[in-house]
Amino acid sequence: MARVELKSISKSFGGVPVLSGIELDVADGEFLTLVGASGCGKSTLIRIIAGLEPQSSGSVLINGAPVDHLRPHERQVAMVFQSYALYPHMRVFANIGLPLMMSRLNLFERLPIIRMLSARRRRVMAEIESEVRAVTKQLQIDALLERRPSQLSGGQRQRVALGRAMVRHPAAFLMDEPLSNLDAKLRVHMRTELAELHDRLGTTFIYVTHDQVEAMTMSDRVAMMDNGTILQIGRPGDLYMRPANLKVAQFIGTPAINLLPAKVSSAGSVELFGAELPIRARRPAGSAMTLGIRPEAITLAPLGTSRPGMHLLPGRLRRSENLGPEHMLHIDLTSPASGTIICSVAGDHEPLTSDSRGLALLFMPSACHVFDVEGHRIDDVEAASAAAAPSSDPHARAFGATLCPLLPKAGEPCAPCGGPAARTS
């Protein structure tokens, strides 16, 4: 078990900076994922933790003690690589047991002749065999011990690589894109297996991936990297619900967040395609901003529909993708708006016919993410009216109004949420 701390880690290759002042504190037993686009420095960072690459400056601490002077095998961490790094001429048993043989047998005991004669060697090998069998049983590859890597599927090879790490009982597992060579279906399966393995072992996992779905589904916390820095670190839901930065907002979430250009109006509100939204950003009038709207935050309705508290953008359906449980709709915004929006609706949503191609895209302004011109999240956005204020009233959350727009008579309670009706007829 290990707490892993990184203090101001920087790294340059030939004068070119690749990591800049990385600070990270991974708790004992935590599953932390480093995620980011190709080339952002994930592998370099995990290799520095493993001791496979020296940092240019800064320090790595394991359980509070600096390990910068220790060689990889002395750090009590085990690395699992994307390439599996198995020895092709060795059987599964030897591939997994090798680290134990190297640490427990001396040079003579590894020689062919001594193998036959040494009683100590026989005893040590019996211990190693039982440990290898225990690990392979956990990974459900105990029937494959006599095979060579070339006789295994990708998923089985990956398990052998995991087994070789597990058999050492490391204080922390370091994994660099271990699932990237697997096909999509197996990746989904192995995702669950890895998460369950982590639960079972309770050991610290530091996991590298460029796949945000892997990061979101397995991790306790996610650190999103960009250009050698950590942009945001938090629980998966934090990065999705409150991205600190435009890059995080764009990277996390499938399909990606919709981004629209906006600015601060002369009255101090957020202005989108000439219309003022009931939210204020404390920025000077005219300041450029970007508004982010998640695809699932948009409700579709026939053009001309309005809902209290919701903002409307007109659009035209360009393309619909049926994914089974949901439809992904690509919609071209029409005047006065412009650009393309992707929104997702449930698979049983009424089919959109060519007649319904003129659409109203409705969303709650309070559901928007607002970013300044540098891409930083603007946190001091405030509701400009009661309609946009966060509310505990289920009507307000569902419809953006404190009164239910669905019921025919005023004063009648709404069956789903018990609130008063809006209509008077």
Ligand X SMILES: Nc1ncnc2c1ncn2[C@@H]1O[C@H](COP(=O)(O)OP(=O)(O)OP(=O)(O)O)[C@@H](O)[C@H]1O
Q: 168: which residues sit within 8 A by CB, 6+ positions away?
A: 78, 99, 100
Q: How many residues bind ligand X (CB under 6 A)?
A: 11
Residue 36 vs 295, nearer CB to ligand X: 36
The residues, ordered by sequence, that sit 6+ positions from 383 with a Cβ below 8 Å of its Cβ are 278, 279, 280, 366, 389, 390
Shortest separation between residue 13's beta carbon and ligand X, angstroms: 3
The pair of three-digit structure tokens given for residue 85, joined into one six-digit string: 């790094």
**Cβ nearer to ligand X, comparing 53 with 142:** 53
Cβ at position 115, least distance to ligand X in Å: 39
Closest contact distance (angstroms) between CB of 34 and Mg ion is 9
Q: Is the dihedral of CA 403, 407, 410, 416 positive or negative?
A: negative
Q: At what angle do helices 92-104 and 154-166 cross, to 10 degrees?
A: 20
Binder of ligand X out of 25, 39, 134, 143 (CB under 6 A): 39
Residue 265 as a binder of Mg ion (CB under 5 A): the answer is: no
Q: Does 43 sit near Mg ion (CB under 5 A)?
A: yes
Size of the site for Mg ion (CB under 5 A): 1
Structure tokens at 88: 């092709």
Closer to Mg ion at the Cβ: 43 or 212?
43
The answer to whether residues 225 and 45 touch, using CB atoms and an 8 Å cutoff, is yes
Closer by beta carbon to Mg ion, 43 or else 344: 43
User: In whole angstroms, how close is the CB of 37 to ligand X at the nearest point?
Assistant: 7
In whole angstroms, give the CA distance from residue 378 to residue 374. Answer: 10
The residue among 44 and 55 lying less far from ligand X, judged by its C-beta, is 44
Shortest CB 46 distance to ligand X, Å = 8
Instruction: Please answer whether residues 181 and 116 qualify as being in contact, where contact means their C-beta atoms are separated by less than 8 angstroms.
Output: no
Give least dist CB 410 to ligand X, A. Answer: 59
Rule CB under 6 A: choose which of 6, 9, 22, 43 binds ligand X: 43
Rule CB under 6 A: say whether 42 interacts with ligand X: yes
Select from 167, 193, 173 the least CA-distant residue to 46.
173
* Residue among 38, 266, 424, 425 that touches ligand X (CB under 6 A): 38
**Which residue, 44 or 258, has its beta carbon nearer to ligand X?**
44
- Do residues 177 and 210 touch, judged by C-beta distance below 8 A? yes
The stretch among 42-50, 88-96, 351-359, 392-400 that binds ligand X (CB under 6 A) is 42-50
At 402, give phi and psi (nearest 5°): -85, -10
Enumerate residues 6-35 that contact ligand X by CB under 6 A: 13, 18
Q: Which does 39 bind (CB under 5 to 8 A by kind): Mg ion, ligand X, none?
A: ligand X
Q: Are 39 and 94 spatial neighbours (Cβ–Cβ below 8 Å)? A: no
When the beta carbons of 53 and 326 are compared against Mg ion, the nearer one is: 53
Residue 24 C-beta: closest distance to Mg ion, Å: 17
Comparing CA positions, the residue from 51, 50, 57, 52 lying closest to residue 22 is: 57
CB of 339 closer than 8 Å to CB of 333: yes
* Residue with Cβ nearer ligand X (9 or 272): 9
Helices 154-166 and 119-138 sit at what angle, rounded to 10 degrees?
130
Judged by CB under 6 A, the chain residues 200 through 239 that form the site for ligand X are: 210
Task: Name the pairing type of β-strands 172-176 and 77-81.
Answer: parallel
295 binds, among Mg ion, ligand X, none (CB under 5 to 8 A by kind): none
198 near ligand X, rule: CB under 6 A: no
13 binds, among Mg ion, ligand X, none (CB under 5 to 8 A by kind): ligand X
Based on the shown chain and the rule CB under 5 A, indicate whether residue 212 belongs to the binding site for Mg ion.
no
Q: Which of 2, 35, 40, 362 binds ligand X (CB under 6 A)?
A: 40
* CB-count burial class (<10 Å; 0-12, 13-18, 19+) for 183: exposed
- Measured from the Cβ of residue 55, the count of other Cβ atoms closer than 10 Å reads 21
Q: Applying CB under 6 A, which residues contact ligand X?
A: 13, 18, 36, 38-44, 210
Q: Applying CB under 5 A, which residues contact Mg ion?
A: 43
